[in-house]
Amino acid sequence: MRIKIVGTGRAVPAQCVTSSSLDERLGLGPGRLEAVTGVVERFVCTTESQVDLACAAARLALAEAGIEPSAVDLVIGGCGVPYQPLPSTAPLVMQRLGLADGSAAAFDVNSTCLGFLTAFETAARLIEAGQCETALVFSSEIASRALPWQEQPEVAALFGDGAAAAVLRKAAPGEGEVAAALMRTYPSAYESCGIGAGGTRFDFHLQPEEFSRNSLFRMDGKELFRVTSRHFNGFVGELLRRAGWQPQEVDVVVPHQASPFALAHMARQTGFGRERLVDIAAHYGNQIAASIPFALDVARKQDRVRPGARVLFLGTSAGVSFGGMALVA
């Protein structure tokens, strides 16, 4: 697929919360949360909404691309947690950006932490098919909600809020391409990570206690580590094989920012040196689906994604899925 990223942008809320302040608030020993999570600080919404963050990131991406919002004819939201169950988040972002009724298609996709990659691939295929010309893809998360601070503070302290967006257009020959995209799912670990309430699984009226009890995020880190350790290397090898790349030909790896320790483990497991990984987890936390495009924008602003660079996106998500994309910038 001949696809080019013509602009990216990112946004965080105003308030930054350090792990040391959380230690004090929760009555933990000094340095406790940073030691067990590797996260030094993260940004947390107070007055900002998820849509506010999405629009802020989108406007920056459009400005970098030199494109007016009216030029966009496809808006795809790839958020792990939506603004509300119905309708989807993308139409509201389309409206807030000032796009006229009927001027674009707008919808969401959801593959939790891999939402941006799924949205990116969906947009790329529609552009390649001639169904649209300019796509805005965004992921925006308020990950600080519904966290298990009392039961699992070491899990809750991993997360931070943020949003990022990208503008995609068809590339001229030699200007950029998606060399390969791949996802593989291991549903045997479905229960190891998630939020049970909020959909149809628990009835708010008939099962109020179950609904309440399952409204917080839960994660079984040991089970996720087991699945990842067993299968992730083979997944990465298959993605590279489909792209026709050798590991040493990858210029930069843009991974999901699960945690600083998870990124260190990924580097050891895959053999990609830490110098090739975009690692921002210690200062932003796990931003769910926003973490991959957020890291991409950081890398682009640091001039690490130059024209012709071979970029490898990699991530894991609840479900449990592995996802990746090989992109020639």
Residues identified as active-site: 113, 256, 286
Angle among Cα 269, 274, 279 to the nearest 5 degrees reads: 105
Buried b (16+ CB within 10 A) or exposed e, 93-106: bbebbebeeeebbb
Under 8 Å between Cβ of 280 and 147: no
